[in-house]
Structure 1
């Protein structure tokens, strides 16, 4: 096998991977995907790991970045609380 087909395959894989990084769901999409999640495990299965994880004692806040803001899930122990949506913070 020559290097040219291998390089073409690697370039295609890199392009597809980069494209996936720039696509973000909307707040509504994230909320819909997680609407039946009541535990941390269910939330992780629905959305993956959070973009930001805030902790204060037994309370956690899982934050997911959306194309039009952020979606926050408060978690106490293993239970997911009511979802909160908001605007992206300015950097």
Structure 2
């Protein structure tokens, strides 16, 4: 059940990140889910590095969206360079 919940939250976080950063993305539904899941990990890591979260604490929704937006930005940079 935990994996299903993580995928559902990842889908929501990824969709919010794509909504906040509109533009052409080569990714589809699966990329959106993966982006959201990875965004939660990035948000947690950044929060721990900056001292906002204790060790072992997980990021909240907003930090997850920020992490997903950072990943989306990097993803666009990488895919943009490949096609140019």
TM bucket, shorter chain: under 0.3
Which of the pair has the greater relative contact order for Cα pairs under 8 Å at 6+ separation?
Answer: 2
TM, length-normalised to structure 2:
0.22
TM, length-normalised to structure 1:
0.21
- Larger proportion of helix: 2
- Tell which structure's C-alpha radius of gyration is larger: 1
